[in-house]
Amino acid sequence: MAERYRCPVELTVDLLGGKWRTVILAYLKEGVHRYGELRRRLPGVSEKMLTQRLRELEADGLVARHDHHTVPPHVEYRLTDEGRSLAPVLQALYDWGTERAARSGTPIDDPVPRPDLR
């Protein structure tokens, strides 16, 4: 039986599950990324945590993993259709964070270009 929620926001927050899941989804919205690319873009997350979060997102049906049987082998991750349906939510979070940083004077060290989350 599926879990029951009292509020749609509760379901959304449960799926987004915190900082790393949301940031991973935002980067994957830009397109397909190899594991190493995600690792470089998320220097504050451990390899164990990144792997765990990617597996959770895959289990939730938001991310698809594709193993390439090449030499050397590599793995790519992309959003599923369900994951892409989060684009407006991710864009709203990005925009609000940008505006909040400007209002509060909070520096944002953004070493990568602004993701197009639409």
| Domains in the chain with CATH codes | 8-104 (1.10.10.10)
**The model's pTM:** 0.82
Which residues lie below 8 Å from residue 86, measured CB to CB, with a gap of 6+? Answer: 16, 25, 29, 62, 79
pLDDT in tens, 54-94: 999 999 999 999 998 888 888 999 999 999 999 999 989 88
* Higher pLDDT pick, 73 / 36: 36
105's torsion region: left (phi>0), alpha (psi -120 to 50) or beta? left
